[in-house]
Amino acid sequence: MESSNNPLSREYEKRLSQMSPFEIKNELISLAQEDARKSSATYLNAGRGNPNWICSDAREAFLLIGRFALDECRRVSYEAPGIAGCPTKGGIGGRFEKFIAENNTTEGGILLNKAYRYMVDELKADPDELVLEWADGFIGDHYPTPPRILKYTEEAIRPYMAQEMGHRAPGGGKDYDLFAVEGGTAGMCYVFDSLQANHLVKKGDKIALMAPLFTPYIEIPELDRFDFDVINVSANKVEADGYHYWQYPDSELDKLRDPSVKLVCLINPSNPPSYRLSDHDLERFVDIVTKDNPNLLVVTDDVYGTFATDFKSLMYTLPYNTMCVYSFSKYFGATGWRLAVIAVNKDNIMDKMIASLPAEDKADLDKRYGSLTLDVSKLSFIDRMVADSRDVALNHTAGLSTPQQIQMSLFALKCLLDPDDVYKRKMQAMIHDRLQALWENTGFKVLPDPLRVGYYSEIDMMVWARKFYGDDFAAWLSASHDPLDVTMRLAVEKGIVVLNGSGFDGPDWSIRTSEANLNRDAYVTIGKKVRDILEEYHQEYLKTKK
């Protein structure tokens, strides 16, 4: 009889499968590290999308601003060792120009000089105002003002968002307001909270999730405070020969035509399996909203959009209905910085729906936000979100910390000042190279697809069980083992951590690997070990036949 404490027992695996894949990951890490110690194998963690690169020149530019800012503080006053004044506006732009002229030889100095000239010459920033925001922001001696986002931080990130999210026309992005938040995860929480606080979605309402998707989007709607009636729009479209296509059939997207569906959440490109929406699906969204569900609220999480070629976000395809959450974490190797924005078009359906609420709901909102303004009806949804992020009463201390905002603006400016997309092409090439190394060594076939981004892979082991060994073997595997057994065996026997795709509402027998956090050689090893697992199952199956 199998012990319930044996990590490869079905009982243990079934209990573990009730948890979030990110919580399962902690158990897998412990098991994989133990195997690596016992066998002298290499421990490899491909379970989390934390990149193993950083954007260095934007960080160096940030540190140069810090040097300048501290000099400014000491220039204003130097009371004693360790005690200085605060940056002041008068003439600070001229002093900064002198500073960057003297520090214009390193990568960071070159970028900082270009960033300053772009802001002043192209975006018409006032030199003293801009440099004061940078210097004072780095020092962090004031609350973020305005709390939603600093003035020139927003001016820098708007065109970056337009460039990367698919608005190719010059001057794009001006129609959007941005809210700087503590990473994409905070953005998710703020969006759900404010939609409910403003009676745009209510407890028990029907919402749609476009699956597979990042697990918090699955788990948050299940919380008692929301208890949404969730329907899945599944990317279950497959080719005739059984390969996953990871796109949404029209029949699935058409679930959104039902006006009782109040909200849809998606990740584009998906997490997993890392494919961007096709132009056809984007057009289908527009058709659905135009013809059948004009009040549909759309939340798109586009953190991986910068890794896609010719990416188009719903924030520009369907601007009136869509809120976009975008994080700088993955592209710039900055997960620890917690940098993201929520983008909302100035002309948006949330403001319209709030204006059309019943008198009882309006009275409730007047009470909720009455301490902020004499006329609550004029308070935009995005400003309500800022207030809600601090339970309204602490609105005056809301906002992302000012040093975080300055670093975020420098990341954005780096890409705005990269006309040949050198950084983007390098990021994409590195991810694709790792993807190929993984799949080539599984022995499985990855089909060419321009919609594939490759930041993650979702490998459906059952597809390959059928293709390599037939339907009888696949039926035996399903009956004899729990789907979590693949991830457990990889950890216990191979020292490799991957996540179970079922935790993302993906196929039960799928596993998710990240192509971001290990070097190419590691994916060669992982690919071979994944194939070994399947072959070991097959050998076990053949023994039952004897």
Query: Given this model, what pLDDT does residue 121 score?
Result: 97
Q: What is the pTM of this model?
A: 0.93
**Band of the pLDDT at 310, cuts 50, 70, 90?**
very high
Beta-carbon contacts of residue 292 (< 8 Å; ≥ 6 apart): 257, 258, 259
**Band of the pLDDT at 298, cuts 50, 70, 90?**
very high
Q: For 254-398, where are the alpha helices, taking DSSP H only?
A: 279-291, 314-317, 349-355, 359-369, 381-388
Kindly report the CATH number that applies to the domain delimited by 10-49+422-545: 3.90.1150.10
* 1 has pLDDT over 50: no
* 504 has pLDDT over 90: no
| Intra-chain end-to-end CA distance of the chain, in Å | 22
List, for residues 172-217, the tens digit of each pLDDT value. 678 999 999 999 999 999 999 999 999 999 999 999 999 999 888 9
Q: In this prediction, what percent of the chain has a pLDDT beyond 70?
A: 96
Kindly report the CATH number that applies to the domain delimited by 56-139: 1.10.20.110
Task: Report domain extents, the chain.
Answer: 10-49+422-545, 56-139, 151-407
151-407: CATH architecture: 3-Layer(aba) Sandwich (3.40)
**Band of the pLDDT at 8, cuts 50, 70, 90?**
confident
Is-contact 86 136, C-beta < 8 A? Answer: yes
Query: Given this model, what pLDDT does residue 171 score?
Result: 66
Mind giving me the DSSP string for 437-488?
HHHHHHT--PPP-TTB--SEEEEEHHHHHHHHH-HHHHHHHHHHS-TTHHHH
List, for residues 51-93, the tens digit of each pLDDT value. 999 999 999 999 999 999 999 999 999 888 999 999 999 999 9
* 3 has pLDDT over 60: no
List, for residues 317-328, the tens digit of each pLDDT value. 999 999 999 999
**C-alpha count within 13 angstroms, C-beta hemisphere, residue 501:** 25
Beta-carbon contacts of residue 521 (< 8 Å; ≥ 6 apart): 437
At 153 the three-state DSSP class reads helix
